[in-house]
Structure 1
Amino acid sequence: MLTVEQRKIVKSTAPVLEEHGTTITKVFYRNLFETHPELLHIFNHANQAKGRQQTALANAVYAAAVHIDNLENILPAVVQIAHKHVSLGIKPEHYPIVGEHLLKAIKEVLGDAATDEILDAWKEAYGVIAAAFIGVEAKMYQEAREQENGWNFFKPFTVVRKVKESENIMSFYLKPADGLNVPAYQPGQYISVRVKIPGEKYMMIRQYSLSQAPTPGEFRISVKREADNDPNGVVSVYLHTQVNEGDTVEVSPPAGEFVLDTTKTTPVAFISGGVGITPMMSMFETVANLTPDRPTVFLHAARNEELAAFQGDIEEKAAGMSNVKYNTFYSSQPDGFINRAVLEKYVDITGDTYVCGPVSFMESIIRELRAMGMNEERIHYEFFGPAMQLANA
Structure 2
Amino acid sequence: MKDRGDVVFITAALVLVAGVPVALYSVYYFAESVQLLATAVLVLLILVTLTGLIIVRNWDRIIASVFRKPVQLSRSISEPLSKSLSLFAQGETQAAEGELKRSIEHTVAHYTWVQTRRWIVGASAALLLGFAGLVGSALLKQQNDLIVRQNAYFREQIDQQQQQLELQQAVANQSIRSEAFRRIYGPEYADNPRVKAESVRSLISVERARIAADENTLPTDFINLHDAQLPSTWLDSADLRRTSFRGSDIQKANFNSADLSGSRLRFTQFGRATFIKASLREAVIMFSDGKASVFSDANLTNAVLSKVDLAGALLDDADLSGVSLENSNLEGADLRDIQNWRQMASIQGSNIHGVRNPPEGFLPWALENGAISQAGALSDLWEQAQAFRRKEEGAQ
Larger radius of gyration: 2
TM superposition score normalised by structure 1 = 0.22
More helix by share: 2
TM-score normalised to the size of structure 2? 0.22
